[in-house]
Amino acid sequence: MRYTASHWGAYQFDGNGLAPVSDDPAPARIGRGWLSAARDRNSRILTPAIREGWLAGDGGAGRGRDGFVSVSWDRAAGLAAQELARVRDAHGNGAVFAGSYGWASAGRFHHAQSQLRRFLNLCGGFVGARDTYSHAAAEVLFPHVLGLSNRAVQDGMTSWPLVAEHCTLLVAFGGISPRTAQINSSGTAGHEVAGWLGRLRARVVNISPQDSDYPGADWWAIRPGTDTALLLALAHTLWAEGLQNEGFLARCTSGWSEFRDYLSGAADGVAKSADWAAPLCDLDAARIRALARDMAANRTMITLNWGMQRADHGEQPLWAGLALAAMLGQIGQPGTGFAFGYGSTTAVGRPAKLYDWPSLPQGRNPVADFIPVARIADMLENPGAPYRYNLTERRYPDIRLVWWAGGNPFHHHQDLFRLERAWRRPETMIVQDHSWTATARRADIVLPATTPLERDDLMLSRRDPALIYMSQRIDPMGLALDDHDILRRIGTELGVAEAFTEGRDTQGWLRWLWDGTRAEAERHGTDLPDYDRFREMGRFDMPDAGDTRVFLQDFVQAPAHHPLPSESGKITLFNTAIARAKLPDCAGHPAWMPPFESLLDAPEGALHLISGQPDTRLHSQNDRGVESQADKIDGRESCYLHPETARAHNLTEGTIVRLWNARGACLAGLRLTPTIRLDCVALPTGAWFDPDEDGLERAGNPNVLTRDIGCSTLSQGNTAHTTLVHIAQWHGDLPPLSIAQPPAIRQG
């Protein structure tokens, strides 16, 4: 049997197509659009291409408007090498930005960012990016309050079978959704979250602006952006009624008295009571108090999704949720306590062993400089400007060359019209991608990469027992090359090709990776077949002991023997390092701060925009495939609105609407659903950014509406979920999409 794999699942070859592996209990919808997207000649980059204006020396002004010249690989590789050498000689490697954030593809070897980092490290280094768009607030906060990285927290999440068995009240902030559980970074052979949800015996409360985030649960339609207020009110009720577990607080936390003084109002004169929170959250005070009592009376798990912290003050709901769970004193016990990210991907809480599979060695980056990942436009616009991040003062580098492989900033970044302006500043933009994404269309040197369907690779996912030999399914489109080959060619010009390849071709590297895989499996007591045998089998399943774990169990059982590596050795409800920094937007304890814009002080008619992950794609990937296209209305992304709101705004289902605010405007198709709050509109991310000359985005990309500002000076995470918009019927002619066709390309 032959297989391939993706972040949305593992597939076996099936006639002319692909079928999800037969033991996957809930194959992802996303896979249905994969082959058609990969074969779409209108969106695949077929040859290397150079932007016309750049060749004419326009300094970047024409990015996003220009056509391209199709060139040979020799020419393209030569130009890329020449630009890197020029910028490096004139300005040093600190002028090269290759943060290159993005999901690229599953597969250990052909991981575009890893390839690019390895290559640039051999060329003297680059300015990188810290943290992720997924959960930057968590990545910066957890090391302070728990002494643990977010990766360690995610790895340590209490396993689903224990939640199913022991939990009697599951309070899910932002829900737990099989929609997002379609994905596992670096692949999965099985989608199990829906199955686990079916086995829960707990009462489930879904605290979310959307009922659809956990269908069938008790829906509390909270006003978005106010979860911290609710969490504090639940904590306040526990304290006011003497329901907190003082023994746990004393043994396992530090700073309870400071946090208590904040809750009670002793610190600032405002009691964070249910009556205080109710009007903020648009919930009933008596119900809030009742839920707090239920939490204390039950075996309770508090879980927050990742999305909640992609918002202004994104650290606060996390920290407040942790503090509330600490007051309940059920952290460290099976099936109860605190969780972050159940359902946000399929692997969180999965009862499996964790493996440290090998990956492509990236070498060492001689450049120490970096930016927080979502501060790219700030960096491009303000070289040398000071900013704060993670309790340090830093300055933005002066970037002349940007090199992106395996990511799509014109998908993932906020306020795309601002990014468009900032993006014109550097001297040279190099992009490796397989498709004419909005980012590739804004590059000077465009290098066509293969998709995973066009090459062999290995799926080795540390949280999934299936090991897959990914076989090539289709011929490379046009002149596309594997990222490794692209960089090898450029490396030849720069004299680093040999160091880059170490004399191995793809098969050589896959064998090398498999050797490391066998060694790791042996450490876990499993003998793996040799490489040739594995390649023939296509799949090997590690014995899945169904390993379960309980978050923070060792620490809670013996805090003195297993202290947390935090400043107090305990869970810090008050953190002295953060407090001492006197940040304007993050106190020493969890606290409520109103978001910079919200329904709490919205102009008449404004709606809150929820721009979550799309059901039909992985971000912008496969958007041109059949599954994503079938969900659109006249080729525009569908947005979701409550029927009553549609009536009040005179909007008709199935027609085109315009969404706008001061930052931008886009078109979208309209669908109605009673599963969303009356004052919210949901427009998933991922439609390819396609603005016309007048600044109207035509495809339905929500990131022309979101604001580009850090969620605090602590983490500088993105604030995509803090956005207000207006909506109206679109009466004009429907402008054609330009992203449905390749850009203008002439033969060079």
Ligand X SMILES: Nc1nc2c(c(=O)[nH]1)N[C@H]1C(S)=C(S)[C@@H](COP(=O)(O)OP(=O)(O)OC[C@H]3O[C@@H](n4cnc5c(=O)[nH]c(N)nc54)[C@H](O)[C@@H]3O)O[C@H]1N2
Q: Would you tell me the crossing angle of helices 285-297 and 274-281 to the nearest 10 degrees? A: 120
Tell me the closest approach of the beta carbon of residue 618 to ligand X, in angstroms.
4
Which position among 8, 34, 54, 101 bears the catalytic label?
A: 101
Choice from 252, 308, 458, 521 touching ligand X (CB under 6 A):
308
Of residues 281 and 528, the one with the C-beta less far from ligand X: 281
Let me know: does 408 contact 103? Beta carbons within 8 Å.
no
Which is nearest to 700 in space by CA: 678, 675, 670?
670
Choice from 365, 706, 712, 715 touching ligand X (CB under 6 A):
706
Which is nearest to 185 in space by CA: 334, 406, 391?
406
Of residues 175 and 334, the one with the C-beta less far from ligand X: 175
Contact flag: residue 620 with Mo ion (CB under 5 A): no
Contact flag: residue 307 with ligand X (CB under 6 A): yes
Q: Is 11 designated active site?
A: no
The site string for Mo ion over 76-115 (x = CB under 5 A, - otherwise) reads ----------------------------------------
Tell me the closest approach of the beta carbon of residue 356 to ligand X, in angstroms.
22
Backbone angles phi, psi at 327, to 5 degrees: -65, -35
Of residues 100 and 336, the one with the C-beta less far from ligand X: 100
Of residues 142 and 248, the one with the C-beta less far from ligand X: 142
Which is nearest to 620 in space by CA: 407, 388, 344, 448?
407
Contacts of range 52-60, beta carbons closer than 8 Å, 24 or more positions apart: 54/428, 54/444, 54/445, 59/427, 60/423, 60/424, 60/425, 60/426, 60/427, 60/429, 60/444
Contact flag: residue 685 with ligand X (CB under 6 A): yes
Contact flag: residue 346 with Mo ion (CB under 5 A): no
Of residues 365 and 435, the one with the C-beta less far from ligand X: 435
Let me know: does 593 contact 320? Beta carbons within 8 Å.
no
Contact flag: residue 207 with ligand X (CB under 6 A): yes
Cβ atoms within 10 Å of 594's Cβ, excluding its own:
15
Of residues 559 and 612, the one with the C-beta less far from ligand X: 612
Identify the residue whose tokens are 């990222």.
483
Residues 22-41 that bind ligand X (CB under 6 A): 30
HEC secondary structure over 391-423: CEEEECCCCCEEEEECCCHHHHCCCHHHHHHHH
Q: Which residues contact 74 (CB under 8 A, 6 or more apart)?
A: none
Q: Would you state the torsion angle of the CA atoms of residues 584, 587, 590, 594, taken in this order, to the nearest 10 degrees?
A: -20
Choice from 208, 244, 566, 575 touching ligand X (CB under 6 A):
208
Contact flag: residue 9 with ligand X (CB under 6 A): no
405 forms bridges with which residues in the sheet? 432
Tell me the closest approach of the beta carbon of residue 415 to Mo ion, in angstroms.
18
What is the CA angle 487-488-494, rounded to 5? 90
Choice from 71, 81, 183, 443 touching ligand X (CB under 6 A):
183
Contact flag: residue 588 with ligand X (CB under 6 A): no
Return the amino acid letter for 543. Answer: P
Choice from 110, 236, 350, 388 touching ligand X (CB under 6 A):
110
- Number of C-alpha atoms within 13 angstroms, CB side, residue 319? 28
Distance, in Å, from the CA atom of 352 to the CA atom of 356, rounded to the nearest integer, reads 13
Distance, in Å, from the CA atom of 693 to the CA atom of 65, rounded to the nearest integer, reads 9
**Start-to-end CA span in the chain (Å):** 43
Choice from 81, 112, 328, 466 touching ligand X (CB under 6 A):
112
Which is nearest to 438 in space by CA: 86, 719, 738, 110?
738
Cβ atoms within 10 Å of 287's Cβ, excluding its own:
12
Tokens of 26: 């809930």
According to DSSP, residue 583 is labeled B
Choice from 129, 618, 633, 651 touching ligand X (CB under 6 A):
618
Let me know: does 636 contact 699? Beta carbons within 8 Å.
yes
Choice from 621, 628, 645, 719 touching ligand X (CB under 6 A):
621
Choice from 31, 225, 476, 559 touching ligand X (CB under 6 A):
225
Return the amino acid letter for 674. Answer: P
Contact flag: residue 48 with ligand X (CB under 6 A): no
Tell me the closest approach of the beta carbon of residue 511 to ligand X, in angstroms.
20
Helix/strand number for the chain, H first, E second: 25, 31
Q: Which stretch binds ligand X (CB under 6 A): 301-309, 356-364, 567-575, 576-584?
A: 301-309
Cβ atoms within 10 Å of 546's Cβ, excluding its own:
12
Which position among 3, 11, 103, 262 bears the catalytic label?
A: 103
Of residues 134 and 305, the one with the C-beta less far from Mo ion: 134
Contact flag: residue 435 with ligand X (CB under 6 A): yes
Q: Is 396 designated active site?
A: no
Distance, in Å, from the CA atom of 240 to the CA atom of 243, rounded to the nearest integer, reads 8
Of residues 253 and 346, the one with the C-beta less far from ligand X: 346
Residue whose CB is nearest to ligand X in the complex, by number: 612
Q: Which does 213 bind (CB under 5 to 8 A by kind): Mo ion, ligand X, none?
A: ligand X
Q: Which stretch binds ligand X (CB under 6 A): 156-164, 176-184, 505-513, 543-551?
A: 176-184
User: CA-CA distances (angstroms) from residue 239 to 261, 264, 283, 297?
Assistant: 11, 8, 20, 14
Contact flag: residue 154 with ligand X (CB under 6 A): no
Tell me the closest approach of the beta carbon of residue 441 to ligand X, in angstroms.
11
Contact flag: residue 685 with Mo ion (CB under 5 A): no
Q: Which stretch binds ligand X (CB under 6 A): 88-96, 102-110, 325-333, 728-736?
A: 102-110
Q: Which stretch binds ligand X (CB under 6 A): 173-181, 285-293, 564-572, 581-589?
A: 173-181
Choice from 306, 389, 688, 689 touching ligand X (CB under 6 A):
306
According to DSSP, residue 277 is labeled H
Interface with ligand X: number of residues (CB under 6 A): 61
DSSP 3-state assignment of 85?
Answer: helix
Let me know: does 664 contact 697? Beta carbons within 8 Å.
yes
Q: Which stretch binds ligand X (CB under 6 A): 219-227, 331-339, 358-366, 456-464?
A: 219-227
Tokens of 348: 């969180």
Residues 133-152 that bind Mo ion (CB under 5 A): 134
Q: Which stretch binds Mo ion (CB under 5 A): 126-134, 168-176, 487-495, 696-704?
A: 126-134
Binding site for Mo ion (CB under 5 A): 134
What are the catalytic residues? 101, 103
Binding site for ligand X (CB under 6 A): 30, 102-105, 110, 112, 133-134, 173-174, 179-180, 182-183, 207-210, 213, 222, 224-225, 227, 305-308, 310-311, 344-345, 405-408, 411-412, 432-435, 437, 449, 483, 610-615, 618-621, 685, 702-703, 706, 720-721
